[in-house]
Amino acid sequence: MQYRNMGKWGLKLSEISIGSWMTDLNGLGAAETARQSIRAAYDAGVNFFDCADAYSGGEAEKFLGGALRDYKRSSYVVSSKVFFPSGRGANDWGLSRKHITEQLDNTLKNMKLDYLDLYFCHRFDPTTPIEETMQTLSDMVERGKILYYGVSEWSPVQLTKAIACIKEMHLRPISVIQPQYNMVDRYIEDEIVQICTENGIGIVPFSPLAQGLLTGKYRKGQPLPAGSRATHQADKQINALLTDENLDKVDKLAAIADGLGVPLSVLSLAWILRLPQISSVITGASKPEQLETNIAASGLRLPPDVLDEIEKILDYKPFVRKIG
């Protein structure tokens, strides 16, 4: 496993990290498989484990905290997030000082930790002044409850406003962002990557395999694999990605992966890691064998000719606003 600095900061993150969004905790067998995946990740050199208070109603935090308890605290980096509803009350969601403070305390209780390494605003809250949110997070750093903080899925305008607010109020800075980023969703390349570069902010993307599209298990003209996410995920996000255009790209990308002797998932992860601004790629491994496959992307540097071929397949056209 190789490691990268989180932006300009001293914190080192494994190039491949583990997220808890899709962790299946239903039943003893599923929980034990998830526990084995975390052990396998740690043993393979993964040091960054991501979670959120909204995952499984707090159960994911409890599970992850328990799974990491056998390891020395200084040997791993753990994160969680705040925004989504934790109850039915008017103040049980968002990024107010009240909700952040209460949910952070609850997260630390769930995970049985004294502090979090990273804490993210899970989404932007238009009902709370950005000054209130940034001040609260800065205060949490000052109190030692979190070491670094960041945001997830904020727009370039929202991120820029937050950075300006922090500078004006002389607060602890945003250190990291967690956006969605993969071969078929590249919006961060338009503006966000540049903003992060200019401000030394690390990027730890989630959904690097586009809900499983970039594993190659979904193929044009073939039935959906039994038990796959496309057959059971409630919000059906993956189904919206299974277009003929995307599946044609998958076929061509799979041929490149075959030529390199690696699975399509490894090619997809290594492609994300081509950007030096990427600090770590958050993967979801429901089984230890999936993890073993994913970590092969760490240290794999794709040759320029391969990157050029991938670009031709993806045919990405950045948004450029023409003036005049």
Q: b/e map of 65-100 (b: 16 or more CB within 10 Å)? A: bebbeeeeeeebbbbbbbbeebeeeeeebbbbeebb
Report the number of secondary-structure helices (H) and strands (E) in the chain: 12, 10
Q: Nearest 5°: CA angle at 227, between 247 and 55?
A: 95
Q: Which of 55, 148, 181, 218 is catalytic?
A: 55
Per-residue tokens: 8 = 């300009």
* H or E, element range at 203: strand 202-203
Is residue 215 within 8 Å of 228, Cβ to Cβ?
no
Q: Is 55 a catalytic residue?
A: yes
150 secondary structure, DSSP code: E
CB 59 within 8 A of CB 25: yes
Q: How many angstroms separate the first and last alpha carbons of the chain?
A: 49
Amino acid found at 183: M
**By C-alpha distance, which of 176, 181, 88 is closest to 137?**
176
What residues are annotated to the active site?
55
